[in-house]
Amino acid sequence: MRPFTQIAMRALAVFVCVLAAAGGASAAGYPDRVVTLVVPYPPGGGVDSIARVVAAKLSDAFHQQVIVDNKPGAGGTIGSRAVAHAAPDGYTLLLGHTGTISINPSLYVHAGYDPRKDFAPIGLVASMPVALIANPSFPGKSIADVIAFAKKQPGKLNVGTSSLGTGGYMCAELFKSDAALDVAIIPYKGSAPVINDLLGGHVPVAFSVLPPALGNIQAGKLRAIAVTSKKRFSLLPDVPTFDESGMPGFEAVLHYGLLAPAGTPKDIVDKLSAELRKLVDTDEVKNRIHFEGGDPLTSTPAEYAADIDKEETKWGGLVRKLNLKME
């Protein structure tokens, strides 16, 4: 048995060395085949649009095709879970979003991934504010007016949002909690139905990301009362922030970033991160992100990891406080 054991040990040693060499070679030559960028939502939305810009620019930078693969379902958890469980080789990536990374792990009973443990953050791409938007017939012109209206008529103010657990919905819950208001939050199936009912006067105010509403705001058909970002949104410079409007420290922006499965070699992550920062800093990508209703945002992998921790603590904590659950 002893000679056999020695042969087995030598074979194992050779196998380990081959694996190590292969890992080093794949990292040095990365990418040498098609890379898949998973979008956990259907085509056509904000996450999809940003992902396609990132994919196109990474394809140019690496001289290797980066394709977008839409894997929608369960509020983005299906696609996110698929990437979390994919091979950690840099060939399957995720366009992450506050909803999938910071909200869903606490909201969904069977999300199937841990945002801190199951992903290797590569870098942030963009931030997108949510806005409190009103039908022109609503008498309130400011956050103070909205709060006064709600307090004068408890339970009477209907606030439209996108579906339960989305960024718009959670912003409404955060506003309701921080301002200690008794309002009725009305979740719709998406942003477009919210804006349609807001235009029709069926709900007086709504929390929404800006792309579905921006044209109507600029045309005067809707009125943006305030944005949830720290700074004013670049395309609506006259609209104040919540912080400026009497709610100091209130911030509720959606973050977009690129992630790989946990265990992806650090040099691959660093290579992707460096290229991502370069492409986000180009005028073309900045303009595209502005067009989609956001602002460009860059980071190192470590900074994105810290952002994930901070955002999950904030939004996951609110989900747990409200005892929100989805199957």
| Residue 1, domain member (yes or no) | no
Judgement on whether residues 282 and 294 belong to the same structural domain of the protein: yes
Judgement on whether residues 269 and 300 belong to the same structural domain of the protein: yes
Judgement on whether residues 269 and 198 belong to the same structural domain of the protein: no
Q: In the prediction, which pLDDT does 292 show?
A: 84
CATH (domain of 147) = 3.40.190.10
| Residue 2, domain member (yes or no) | no
Q: Which of 212, 218, 217 is nearest to 134 (CA)?
A: 217
* Residue 25 predicted with pLDDT over 50: no
Q: How far apart are CA 145 and CA 162, in angstroms?
A: 23
The token pair that represents 280 in the structure block: 């986000």
The H or E element containing residue 298 is none
| Residue 117, domain member (yes or no) | yes
Structural domains in the chain (count): 2
| Residue 119, domain member (yes or no) | yes
| Cα-only R_g, the chain | 23
Judgement on whether residues 234 and 309 belong to the same structural domain of the protein: no
CATH (domain of 299) = 3.40.190.150
Quote the mean pLDDT of the chain.
91
Q: What are phi and psi of 201, to 5 degrees?
A: 80, 15
| Residue 107, domain member (yes or no) | yes
Cβ-Cβ contacts under 8 Å for 87 (sequence gap 6 or more): 261
Q: In the prediction, which pLDDT does 26 show?
A: 53
Summarised one tens digit per residue, pLDDT across range 245-262 is 999 999 999 999 999 999
* Last residue in a domain, options 182, 210, 245: 245
**Residue 46: domain span:** 10-128+254-322
Judgement on whether residues 273 and 169 belong to the same structural domain of the protein: no
Query: What is the Cα 105 distance to its own chain's centre?
Result: 13
The H or E element containing residue 128 is strand 119-134
Judgement on whether residues 15 and 95 belong to the same structural domain of the protein: yes
| Residue 28, domain member (yes or no) | yes
| Residue 5, domain member (yes or no) | no
Cβ-Cβ contacts under 8 Å for 24 (sequence gap 6 or more): none
Judgement on whether residues 89 and 124 belong to the same structural domain of the protein: yes
Judgement on whether residues 156 and 94 belong to the same structural domain of the protein: no
Q: In the prediction, which pLDDT does 1 show?
A: 44
The token pair that represents 49 in the structure block: 């649009």
Alpha-helical segments (H) within the chain: 2-28, 46-62, 77-84, 98, 104-107, 143-152, 167-178, 191-199, 214-218, 266-280, 283-291, 301-322
* Last residue in a domain, options 194, 222, 245: 245
Burial label for 65, CB within 10 Å (0-12, 13-18, 19+), is: middle
| Residue 113, domain member (yes or no) | yes
Neighbours of 252 (CB within 10 A): 24
* Last residue in a domain, options 196, 221, 245: 245
Position of tokens 């952002």? 307
Q: In the prediction, which pLDDT does 24 show?
A: 46
Judgement on whether residues 27 and 84 belong to the same structural domain of the protein: yes
The length of the chain in residues reads 327
Burial label for 86, CB within 10 Å (0-12, 13-18, 19+), is: middle
* Residue 2 predicted with pLDDT over 60: no
Judgement on whether residues 63 and 118 belong to the same structural domain of the protein: yes
Judgement on whether residues 153 and 117 belong to the same structural domain of the protein: no
Summarised one tens digit per residue, pLDDT across range 47-82 is 898 999 999 999 999 999 999 999 999 989 999 999
Q: How far apart are CA 155 and CA 27, in angstroms?
A: 58
Position of tokens 């949104």? 233
User: What DSSP string runs through 250-279?
Assistant: ---EEEEEEEEETT--HHHHHHHHHHHHHH
